[in-house]
Chain A
Amino acid sequence: MLNTDGLARDERGMALALALFALIIVGGMVSGNFLMGLLEQRSGRNILLVTEASELAQGELWQIVSEVSGSGLLALPVGGAALDLGPGTPRPGFWLQRKVVRLADNLFLIQSRATRLDGAGAQLATGAVGLLTHLVPDSASASQVLLPIGQRAWVQLY
């Protein structure tokens, strides 16, 4: 009787082993590339989120300057606690903090902080800026308007 078991074993090739080896090598390189791409994409996204938050905070500063009334500011105690101006216009995906504090008789610090949130409400990025302002008589409206001080009014907050 012909015993073919020994022959079948001898005829097994290396093709499968080689193919698996090549697959692992190529798969590793492709995965490495994907990982680098993912990290790059995350890095870019983080920069985008920080920029979005910073720009929103920056834009909100000027919104506050235009909407806050001089008489309301003069009612604040000098050196007292900051007045919370509320979140302003709601923007999806952001949380805004707006404050003003009276530093001297006619010197006010406006603070604006924008926080980018994810779907679950966790903080992703924050941008915060401030503006040193003072009240200036406005001949047209016969009232006082809020304007940035002449020098170094813009402040990067952390």
Chain B
Amino acid sequence: MLILGGRRGFTLAETLLAMVLLLMVSGSVYRVLLSTVRLTRSQTEHIALQSNVRGAALVAGNELRELSTAAGGNGAQNDLLSLGPNAISYRAMRGFGYTCQTLGPGLLRISRSAFFAYRDPQPGRDSALLYLSGMPTPADSGWITAGIIALSSSSTCGGGEPAISLTLPAGIGTVPGGTPVRIYEAMELAAYQADGQWWLGLRSLSSGEAIQPIFGPLATTEGFRLAYGDAAQMATVVPSLIKSISVTIRGTGVNYDNSSAAPLSEVLSTQIALKNAQY
């Protein structure tokens, strides 16, 4: 026979006390766990928001940095097409190269090794800027614009080097070898509303495509703000006088941290000096 001498069970009071203590400890642990989960989600959201805002500012900088403006210049010299406080349209540079041969009127051939772009030109979407002597006056040199009618990527230059060939309107005449060629497309960078929220979007005006979001959601007010400065850093809305563009991006996100009722917000302002602005 098993004798449990000296060992007794728990009284009801002891069990109740133990349960109350266990509940208190469990409750505290649960609260710590919940706050840690909230903090983790909040930090993750914050990091993602910061990263996205920074990415959007980089895209805006890369799009706008190479633009050209010239006081009193003609249409070909000014790349800013329209301005607004939360939208801008412009000629976005997509590539650069120089011709390797002199061909017939309107025909260009650019060696692959002398073509710098992250994609090939697209006829109908992209246009070309050519730097020709005798433009705009016989004693001067300047850029002219022409739409790209056709592209062949299987041609070669004189030495058998792989090249791309562009067909432009024959009216531009014969383009000599060594002519600098820029490839561009008309783009719009703008804040727009979709699904009840604001987004920063980009679209090709040349191809007529719908605007695509590159960042969002933006804050409802002042989510994307553009300010234009002239040579003296004074505000201006005259495209040909603009030398720098200030971009402010204010992103918003869900706040998982109960410490504040306001939504998560991140603001980044950057000033883009236009590298090809003429002073």
Contacts and interface: CB of A to CB of B under 8 A. Distances in A.
B199 interface: no
Contact of B178 (A3, A33, A104): A104
B175 to A, nearest CB: 12
Contacts of B178: 78-79, 102-104, 107
Contacts of B51: 40, 43
Interface string A131-154: 010000000000000000111111
Interface size class of B (residues with CB under 8 A): 35 or more
Interface in A79-119: 79, 101-104, 107, 109
B278 interface: yes
Contacts of B50: 40
A25 interface: yes
A74 interface: no
Interface stretch (B62-70, B204-212, B217-225, B260-268): B62-70
Contact of A22 (B33, B37, B95, B100): B33
A47 B50 CA distance: 13
Interface size class of A (residues with CB under 8 A): 35 or more
B129 A152 contact: yes
B116 A158 contact: yes
A37 B70 contact: no
A152 B143 contact: yes
B240 interface: no
Nearest to B119: A158
Given A40-B47, A109-B180, A153 B276 contact: yes
Nearest to B142: A151
Contacts of B96: 130, 155-157
Nearest to B77: A151
Contacts of A152: 68, 129, 131, 143, 182, 276
A79 B177 contact: yes
A29 B116 contact: no
Nearest to B29: A22
A33 B43 contact: yes
Interface of A: prevailing SS:
mixed
Interface of B: prevailing SS:
mixed
Interface in B83-127: 93, 95-96, 98, 100, 114, 116-118
Contact of B180 (A3, A26, A79, A103): A103
Contact of B36 (A3, A29, A103, A107): A29
B133 interface: yes
A121 B70 CA distance: 43
A8 interface: no
B275 interface: yes
A155 B143 CA distance: 14
Nearest to A155: B96
Contacts of A2: 2-3
B278 A154 contact: no
Interface string A1-32: 01100010000000000000010011001001
Given A151-B143, A151-B276, 17 more contacts: A22-B33, A29-B36, A29-B37, A32-B40, A32-B44, A43-B54, A103-B178, A107-B178, A109-B98, A128-B116, A132-B180, A151-B70, A152-B129, A154-B275, A155-B182, A156-B66, A157-B96
24 contacts: A25-B33, A26-B33, A29-B36, A29-B40, A33-B44, A36-B43, A36-B44, A37-B47, A39-B47, A40-B47, A44-B54, A79-B178, A107-B178, A109-B98, A130-B96, A151-B68, A151-B70, A155-B116, A156-B93, A156-B96, A156-B116, A157-B96, A158-B117, A158-B118
Interface of A: 2-3, 7, 22, 25-26, 29, 32-33, 36-37, 39-40, 43-44, 47, 78-79, 101-104, 107, 109, 128, 130, 132, 149-158
